[in-house]
Each structure stands twice: as C-alpha cells, then as structure tokens.
C-alpha cells in the first residue's frame, strides 16, 4: 500500500497558457512524456463503494492498463492524504494485493456486481520540481473532462504530489504559484465529481455543519478543529461563487469568513499574537471583497423588489424602477472585483498557519474558557442594547446586531461543551433577533447608497425620499419589536452559566416601555 500526499489546485480553463508558461513550471524538467489518461470508475448498482468512500478504477495510459483502489482521503485546504493500491490490470479485477483486510474482503465480495459508471479523460503533463535540497514534488497538469451518460464537466487542475519533504513544502510551493496564477485549493477528487455527475447531484452553497469542539479538547485544539471546518466552508463557497451565478454562494462565502473572524477574536487569548495579528484583520478584509455585491443583492431583493408588488401609483413604480436600475448598474461593477487570484493565497496560508500553531504546555479547561468568553460577549451585547435604547439610531442598532452575531456564532462553536439543546435553542433565538435588526440596517444602507448616487442623478434623491417615507412605519415597528424581543432573549437564564446579567436587562425593559422611535440624523 502507498499513501499519497498531494495538494490539488483548480484554475479556470482560460488560464491554461499562463499556467504552462509560469517559470517554475516551464523551467522544470518533464517526468516522462505527456499522456492522455482514460479512466473508468466502477461500483455496484446500489453504489456500495461510494457509500464506503472507496474508489475502484481502471486506467489506460498508452498501451498500459492499471487497476487502482483508493480509500477515503483526509483533505484540508486542497492537501490530501489517502491510501492507494495500484497494479497492472488484466481484463478482470484482482484485489489480492490490497493489504487492508476489511477493504479487500469488501471488494472481493462485490466484484461480480461491479459495473462501469463514469469516466475521466484528460491530458497529463508531469514535471519534477525541486524547490530546495531534499524536497521533490511531482507537478501534474491535468486538462480534460469527466464524462457520464448524464453529461460532462471540465477538468483543469494542478496536482502537487510529495515525493520527499514535508507536507508544508507542498503548501509553500503552492503559495508561490498562487501568488502569480489564479489557483485555488480544491479538495474534490475526480471520482467525487464523477459520482456527482452520475447521481445528478446539484451543486449548492455550503453551510458549516455541527461544530467539532469536544469537552476533552484544549482550547487550542478546539480552535484548530473549528477553524479547519470553517476553512472548508470558505473554500467550497469560494469555488461556487467563482463558477456560479447563484448569489447565495457569495452570501455563504461571506458568512464563512465572518464566522472565522469571530472565531479568531474569541480565541485571541490562546492562539498567540502572531496568528491573531495576521488573521483578525485579513479575514474581515476578505469578507469585505464580497460585501458590495451582497449588499446590492439584498437592496434589490429585500428592499426594492417588494415595493413593486405593493399598491402604488405610476410615480411610485417609477421611483422604484429608477432605484432598481441604479442597483443593477452598481451590481455589474461590483462583480468585476471578485477574482480568484486574490483569494487563493489566503486559503493556503490559513491552513499552513493553523498547522504551525503549537500546543501550549498548560491550558485552561475548554469549558471554563468557553463560559468566560460567552459571558463577555453577552455583557457586550447587553451594553450595546442599552446604548441603542438610549439613542436609537440605525448605527447603534447595527452595532448591537453585530454583537448578537458574535454571541450567536460563539454559542454554535461551543454548544457541545454544555447542554447542547438549550445552547442550540438560544443560538436560534439570537439569530431571529439578528434578522429583526437586519431589516433596519438593510434599509439604512440602501438609503445611504441612493443618497450617494443622487450626486450623479438628482432624480434618485426623489426616489430615495419616496422609499424612506414608504418604509418609515415599518422601521419604527421593527425597532420596537426587536428591542422588546432582545430584552427577553438576553434577560433569560443563560444556558452556559448560572449567573446572568439580568438586572441590566430589566432596566432596559422599563425604558423601552416609555416608547422608542428611530433617529436618523
């Protein structure tokens, strides 16, 4: 059995010439001749191999035929490690050389029912790279397609396979290439893409799953596990945003970066100044690259489009359509700034920096650490709630909403460390509060944009004022209901501790009963 350590990088098909011409690639010796590889993947009619994350394929390279068995890979940031068995193929499968007994018996028992499902055909160029003494990397440049009866999908990727050296050497070399080329790490194997095609599985935006934090972890171990999960969500949605027109990819891309930014800030006391200093601001900056596009989508879909469905005269619809046209023009410009060359290197660097984080000799209990950080975020949310009640401006409401977001994300990070059901329920209540205050911010941002655009088109000033008047009643209602709900959510007994800051919330509740209205200065 061999264990491959490789790093996969995807690039757009129109960047092939630039990839081939890069001096680190063009200047390296070829390893053999360029080959067209024809691969056929097999499984049972009920996809039993797929269920066990085992891939069986035959490969035709020139006159040679090979049989390959691969098992599930551990893959992070494009870097994967997987067990593999390869041998000559002679018209029928032979699994005797598979030295993992359970895998061998599983395959032998299903051998009579194996059928071809899909194929991959691609041209492979192989280069031998020696970045420094003792480090050897095989660079495979693959261009072709995955084909099944259901359709086909393109292949354009680099595979960096470690011959000698450390996995970090692959990452360092990939970073060097990604600084000049539109490369992003890509974890999905050709077999995975083939199965998706065969099963007609639609691509869709990715949300983070259940947090991997566990009570037996140290705070730094928990941070690394949650951060790697977040990085995978970031990577998947980035790939979708670059290859799909679905705006939800951009939204989930932005959410993944915001959650990682919250994570870094929450774990600041235990991750060290270097990591915190590098990533706290960079994650925020990366999220901002998609902020313009996402804000414009929200302005169009949540603020302006509903007005077209409401009753109004010709002037009403004229104002709304004028604003929609301005949004469409701005959205077209915003899309031009979302490119892969800016995002590939940070993805690679984030994984590398995570792996370089040492474990401290002593560490606080993860439960104590989590409780202290949650209490701190709850106090901050309560203070910002009080500020919003005293001075109910859109800016203060937005700051309060941000504090809710940090509290919610942190509840999700730490849910398994406490009674999980109440923690999850509390996080859902906080998320509902975010939505309540989200409308206030969305409307305020939309009005600000129309204000700024009206310098070039005075008619937009009338449209802005019309839209502000139309929503004024709902704005005050949203603030009143949101503040009332906030006192209930933040004033309850908190699921992570027995001592809560409820007295401050009671004072805020009394002030709300006296009446609150939004102040836009």
DSSP assignments along 471-515, one per residue: HHHHHHHHHHHHHHHHHHHHHSPPTT-S---HHHHHHHHHHHHT-
Domain boundary among the residues 176, 198, 220 is at 198
- Domain range spanning residue 414? 365-521
Residues whose CB falls within 8 Å of the CB of residue 77, separated by 6 or more in sequence, listed in order: 7, 171, 185, 187, 231, 235, 347, 348, 350, 351, 352
346 vs 237: CA distance, rounded Å: 14
CATH number for position 133: 2.40.320.10
pLDDT of residue 431: 96
**Position 474 in a domain:** yes
Yes or no: say if 252 and 207 are a contact pair by the CB < 8 Å rule.
Answer: yes
Say if 386 falls within a structural domain.
Answer: yes
**What phi and psi, each to the nearest 5 degrees, are found at residue 508?**
-65, -40
Total tally of structural domains belonging to the chain: 2
Q: How far apart are CA 485 and CA 428, in angstroms?
A: 13
**pLDDT score recorded for residue 358:** 81
Q: What is the pLDDT of residue 504?
A: 58
Residue 494 lies in a domain: yes
Last residue of a domain, one of 170, 198, 226: 198
pLDDT of residue 506: 55
Q: What does the pLDDT read at residue 179?
A: 94
Domain presence at residue 218: no
Does residue 477 lie within any of the structural domains?
A: yes
Q: Is the separation of the CB atoms in 232 and 347 below 8 Å? A: no
Q: What is the pLDDT of residue 492?
A: 86
Q: Give the pLDDT score at 158.
A: 97
Residue after which a domain boundary falls, among 165, 198, 231: 198
pLDDT of residue 289: 80
77: left (phi over 0), alpha (psi -120 to 50) or beta: left
Does residue 451 belong to any structural domain of this protein?
A: yes
Mean pLDDT of the chain: 90
Tell me if 325 is assigned to some domain: no
* pLDDT < 70 stretches in the chain: 1-3, 73-82, 335-339, 361, 498-511, 514, 519-521
Give a yes or no: residue 341 inside a domain: no
Element (H, E) at 318: helix 314-335
């Amino acid at each position: 059995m061999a264990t491959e350590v490789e790093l996969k990088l995807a690039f757009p098909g129109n960047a092939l010439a630039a990839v081939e011409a890069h001096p680190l690639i063009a200047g390296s010796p070829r390893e053999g001749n360029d080959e067209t590889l024809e691969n056929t993947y097999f499984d049972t009619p009920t996809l039993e191999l797929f269920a066990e994350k085992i891939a069986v394929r035959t490969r035709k390279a020139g006159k040679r035929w090979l049989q390959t068995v691969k098992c599930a890979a551990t893959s992070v940031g494009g870097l994967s490690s997987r067990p593999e068995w390869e041998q000559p193929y002679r018209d029928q499968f032979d699994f005797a050389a598979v030295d993992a007994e359970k895998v061998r018996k599983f395959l032998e028992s299903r051998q009579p029912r194996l059928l071809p499902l899909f194929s991959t055909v691609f041209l492979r160029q192989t280069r031998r790279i020696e970045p420094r003494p003792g480090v050897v990397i095989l660079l495979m440049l693959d261009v072709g397609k995955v084909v099944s009866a259901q359709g086909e999908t393109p292949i354009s990727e680099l595979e960096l396979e470690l011959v000698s050296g450390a996995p970090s050497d692959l990452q360092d070399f990939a970073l060097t290439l990604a600084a000049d080329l539109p490369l992003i790490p890509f974890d999905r194997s050709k077999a995975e893409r083939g199965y998706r095609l065969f099963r007609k599985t639609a691509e869709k935006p990715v949300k983070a799953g259940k947090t991997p934090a566990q009570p037996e972890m140290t705070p730094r171990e928990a941070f690394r596990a949650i951060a790697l999960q977040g990085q995978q969500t970031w990577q998947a949605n980035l790939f979708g945003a670059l290859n799909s027109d679905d705006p939800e990819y951009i939204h989930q891309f932005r959410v993944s970066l915001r959650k990682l930014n919250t994570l870094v800030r929450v774990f600041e006391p235990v991750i060290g100044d270097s990591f915190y200093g590098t990533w706290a601001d960079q994650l925020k900056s990366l999220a901002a690259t998609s902020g313009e596009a996402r804000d414009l989508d929200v302005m169009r879909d949540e603020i302006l489009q509903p007005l077209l469905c409401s009753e109004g005269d010709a002037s009403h619809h004229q104002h709304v359509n004028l604003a929609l046209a301005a949004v469409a023009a701005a959205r077209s410009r915003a899309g031009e700034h979302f490119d892969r060359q800016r995002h590939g290197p940070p993805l690679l660097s984030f994984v590398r920096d995570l792996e370089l984080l040492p474990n401290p000799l002593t560490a606080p209990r993860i439960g104590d650490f989590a409780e202290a950080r949650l209490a701190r975020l709850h106090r901050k949310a309560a203070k910002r709630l009080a500020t919003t009640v005293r001075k109910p401006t859109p800016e203060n409401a937005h700051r309060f909403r941000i504090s809710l977001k940090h509290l919610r994300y942190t509840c999700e990070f730490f849910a398994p460390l406490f009674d999980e059901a109440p923690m999850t329920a509390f996080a859902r209540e906080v998320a509902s509060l975010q939505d309540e205050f989200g409308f206030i911010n969305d409307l305020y941002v939309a009005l600000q944009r129309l204000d700024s655009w009206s310098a070039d088109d005075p008619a937009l000033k009338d449209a802005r004022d019309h839209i502000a008047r139309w929503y004024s009643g709902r704005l005050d209602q949203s603030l009143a209901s949101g503040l009332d709900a906030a006192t209930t959510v933040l004033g309850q007994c908190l699921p992570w501790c027995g001592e809560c800051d409820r007295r401050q919330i009671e004072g805020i509740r009394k002030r709300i009963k006296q009446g609150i209205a939004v102040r836009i200065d």
